[in-house]
Structure 1
Amino acid sequence: MGPRGMSGNSIDRLSQAVLPERALMAALDQAFEAIALLDAKDGTIVHSNAAFARTFGDSSQKAPRQRLLDLFQLDEAGQVLTTALQQARSGQTWMGCTPLKTLTGKAIHFEVALSPVRGDDDAVRSLVVRLRDLTLDVETNRHLRLAQKMNSLGVLAGGVAHDFNNLIGAILNTAEQIEMQVEPDSPVRRKLETIQRIGDRAKGLTSQILNFSGHSEGKWSLIDLSDLIIEVTNVLKTTFPENVKVRTDLTKGTKIYGDPSQLHQVVLNLGINASQAMQPAGGILSIHLQPAVENHGTSQGSTEPCVLLTVEDSGCGMDSRTLERIFEPFFTTKEAGHGTGLGLSVVYDIVHAHGGSLQVSSKPGQGSSFQILLPLNHGKVKVWAS
């Protein structure tokens, strides 16, 4: 007799039943996707692989008889799972892509496949669910589409700016010729000065458009980023309403190769947007600058010295749909006549032209935080080549 009174034949039959199951579960643990076997009646998780545990936590630590639906916040997107389960129970495989939120609030874009498993009587006994995390792919594609939009807009803006610049030049040249022909005390001279002043402003505008379109090389140099931020904040303080306070925490002497006028524009645009987001109640604009490193994810774990610029406000915040579009050219939540929708597009373009990256976090009623990572030496090539 074997253990607990079992005969040798009984043990052999048990081994034959258990070992294939163990081998199958070991094989599933090697899969990249999260896979689980569900009870067809109520969607209870019967078995899950290692990737499933990494995504949702060890099922052994969870409540008994936990259902697949219990792992998610069943908002509008989560209702898709209910439909998928119903279709799989009816004997049909369901496949699709949908964003879902886990109970911890983490948003993951999943490719979902739910398939029925039939018994000997052809009735659906179990369901197999496969969840593939597409979040990184979705984010990469979103950035690619945005980059394509920015490139198309840049080409258009560059062409318009060149033609506009030529027209302004002709106007200014004509004004200079007229000025040479009028008396010093002539009232016409004052009008000509107005034309020249407005023309100079227009040339400055076309210069910004050319920088945005990438048709202007800019003036790269070694600059003290902390000094530049102080200069910008001094300007902001003089223009902000009294109910907006500015706080800075800057690492002194932080130097970076870049275009000072473009980086000036980044801080200025973010500051103005923050002030507007905090109206009418007002609030606090916080600007932080500190050393950082960027990990390139190579096998050697190489890193690059960077600086982290963080611009935070205590304003109205943004929902997820707005966050997805804030860097799109001409997208704005402001009323007509109060914004062009180009401010954050310009910020995005300048940051990436400096070899940097930009992350935004925000929730309605909880303000917004823009984190900009800039490499210290990205502009050296431009400086040495000039």
Structure 2
Amino acid sequence: MLTSEVNRDAFFIDSLDKSNWKSYRFDEIAKNISERVDPNNTDLEVYVGLEHLDSNTIHIKRHGTPNDVNGQKLKFYKGDIIFGRRRAYLRKAGVAETDGFCSAHALVLRANPEIILPELFPFFMHSNSFMHKAIDISVGSLSPTINWGTLKLQEFLLPPKDIQVKLVTLFECLDSVRCGENKISELLKTYSIVKSKQLLLGEEYGAKIKHKNMQPIPSLWEVKPLHELFDKLSLRNKRNVSCNVLTISAKDGLVNQEEYFNKSVASKDLSNYFLLNEGDFAYNKSYSDGYPAGAIKRLKNYKQGVVSPLYICLKSKCSPYLTVFYEYLFESGFINQQILAVAKEGARNHGLLNVAIDDFLNIKVPVPDQATVLKILNELKKIDVANEKHKAHLENSQKLQNSLINKVF
């Protein structure tokens, strides 16, 4: 809950009089720091790439090292803003917590304290007023990028210093609340992962047995290869039945490619793509953070769609309950060891694992009896409900903060 002080300050925003506010060019508001760094010849230990910046937050939670990169980079100092000038629609702008260097695809910006309080500057950077203008002036179609020469000429309306002081108090308090909620979210996520794996591995169901490249499961559970439980889908989109091109998002599952990337990266000819119907599964052999053996997702957000022929697609032959059980099992990474065991030696080409279809379909999974499956799903549902409630709470907190920032700027 927000304190009464925050509620009072939030109320004052609705009655702001902007008649005495002044408009400034961006190069009056902030300075572009263009000091260069050679990663192979520096004492700096922190590297921040665009991949380390999260959308819609002023905090930088991850970083790399000089060993991760080559080529000239940009130096930043503690308190500077690292702004992702490439694909500005991702809204990446974070405050540096230490000295370091960053990608040349970023801008290092330092607030001019004569015009804007440095504590207020990062919140201004995340306003629609700034971000929308940044998107509008970006150039290039495949990877739209902002040029400092254009950005520095843009004008923005800012409040006087006495108002800025109040805004800093309000926004920092809101941000503190969100940080606390995010910490709770991380703890809940950790608990959910651990508890879900315990349920899926049958921790409460008797003596365990170890199968090759599998975590121990109850000895009473059957084990079957995927081809006995799923049919391989090979129906192509020959008649252009669907133009809904899907991609796998680790967070959101199978999603529309154009909405996810903000552009289409699919072939113009979709006739060779696999056709999926709601409830079908797709395996993307591309590995990523949290998915060292690729990701298997179920189509849930659309009635139909098409995926790249590089995917392996499956249709369940199981009961609806067992199908949902496998959805959770795949997400838990249960079959990762088996996938990596059959991936061809040295075949990580452009981020793709070389997994043959027959090898994939021979991967083995547990088959609990229906009563056990229902009990497990019931407990997993409780975890999901708790996560969804907390997620909704987080989203509401972010919406409140964004709403107040956008009322100001």
Shorter-chain TM range is under 0.3
Q: Which of the two has greater strand per residue?
A: 1
What is the TM-score of this pair, normalised by structure 1? 0.26
Larger Rg belongs to? 1
Q: Which has the higher contact order (CA 8 A, sep 6+)?
A: 2
